[in-house]
C-alpha cells in the first residue's frame, strides 16, 4: 500500500497558504511592530560593521532572510526602501500604482482597488492596520520621499542602518536636517 503524500495540494496552492498566513500575521500589526523593534535593535549592534569596506558581502546574509520573510509576510517587492513601520505594516508597493503616500482616490466603495477589482486597496489596509499600532497610525501622515529605483533589490535593513536609505534624492529636502524654513535657529 502506497503511503499518502504529506501534502497532496498542488504546488501553486502552497504559495496561497503561505500568503494567507502572512496576511493573518499582518492583521496583528502590534506583533509585527514588536518584532521590527527587536530586529532593528539587533541589527543596530552590527551597523558599524556594515559600513566598512566589503559590506556588500555582509548584505548577502542579511538580504536572504529579509527577502524571504518580507515576501512571505508582506508580499514585499524588494524596493530597498522599506517603509512598513510607517504604513501600518502594509507594503505600499503592493498597490498596483506603487503609491507610497496614501490612496489614489480611486478606491471603490467596498475598499477594493480601482485597478485590480476584488483586491483590497493596500492603503485602506494600511490605515486600518496603522490604527491598531502603538502610535495609532501617526506615522501614516509622514510624507515619504519618492522611491529611489537604484536601491531596488538591496537589503533595506542594511541601507537603513548605514544611512543610504535616508540620503535624499535630487530636489528632495534632506530629511536628516531639521526644517529651518520657519526662521528658527538663524
* 152-161 pLDDT, tens digit each: 888 887 777 7
pLDDT score at 183: 39
Residue 2 falls within a domain, yes or no? Answer: no
Residue 91 falls within a domain, yes or no? Answer: yes
d(CA 156, CA 70): 11
Residue 182 falls within a domain, yes or no? Answer: no
Residue 104 falls within a domain, yes or no? Answer: yes
Q: What is the 3-state secondary structure (H, E, C) of the chain?
A: CCCCCCCCCCHHHHHHHHHHHHHHHHCCHHHHHHHHHHHHHHHHHHHHHHCCCCHHHHHHHHHHHHHHHHHHHHCCCCCCCCCHHHCCCCCHHHCCCCCCCCCCCCCCCCCECCCCCCCECHHHHHHHHHHCCCCCCHHHHCCCCCCCHHHCCCCHHHHHHHCCCCCCCCCCCCCCCCCCCCCCCC
Residue 167 falls within a domain, yes or no? Answer: no
Question: Cβ atoms within 10 A of the Cβ of 128, count?
Answer: 16
d(CA 91, CA 69): 13
pLDDT tens, per residue, the chain with 186 residues? 433 333 333 333 334 444 566 777 788 888 888 888 888 788 778 767 666 656 666 666 777 788 888 888 888 888 888 888 889 999 999 999 999 999 998 899 999 999 998 889 999 999 999 999 888 888 888 888 888 888 888 888 777 777 666 566 666 665 444 443 433 333
Residue 126 falls within a domain, yes or no? Answer: yes
Number of domains in the chain: 1
Full domain range(s) for residue 121: 19-162
pLDDT score at 113: 93
The CA distances from residue 176 to 140, 165, 166, in Å, are 19, 11, 7
Amino acid at each position: 500500500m502506497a503511503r499518502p503524500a504529506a501534502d497532496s495540494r498542488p504546488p501553486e496552492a502552497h504559495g496561497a497558504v503561505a500568503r494567507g498566513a502572512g496576511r493573518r500575521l499582518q492583521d496583528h500589526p502590534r506583533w509585527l511592530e514588536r518584532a521590527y523593534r527587536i530586529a532593528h535593535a539587533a541589527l543596530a549592534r552590527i551597523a558599524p560593521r556594515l559600513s566598512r569596506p566589503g559590506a556588500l558581502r555582509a548584505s548577502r546574509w542579511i538580504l536572504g532572510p529579509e527577502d524571504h520573510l518580507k515576501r512571505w509576510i508582506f508580499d514585499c517587492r524588494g524596493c530597498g526602501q522599506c517603509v512598513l513601520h510607517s504604513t501600518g505594516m502594509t507594503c505600499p508597493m503592493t498597490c498596483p500604482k506603487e503609491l507610497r503616500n496614501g490612496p489614489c482616490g480611486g478606491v471603490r466603495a467596498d475598499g477594493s482597488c480601482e485597478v485590480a477589482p476584488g483586491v483590497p486597496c493596500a492603503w485602506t489596509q494600511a490605515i486600518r492596520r496603522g490604527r491598531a499600532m502603538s502610535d495609532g497610525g501617526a506615522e501614516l501622515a509622514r510624507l515619504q520621499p519618492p522611491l529611489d529605483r537604484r536601491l531596488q533589490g538591496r537589503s533595506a535593513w542594511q541601507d537603513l542602518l548605514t544611512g543610504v536609505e535616508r540620503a535624499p534624492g535630487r530636489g528632495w529636502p534632506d530629511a536628516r536636517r531639521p526644517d529651518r524654513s520657519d526662521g528658527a535657529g538663524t
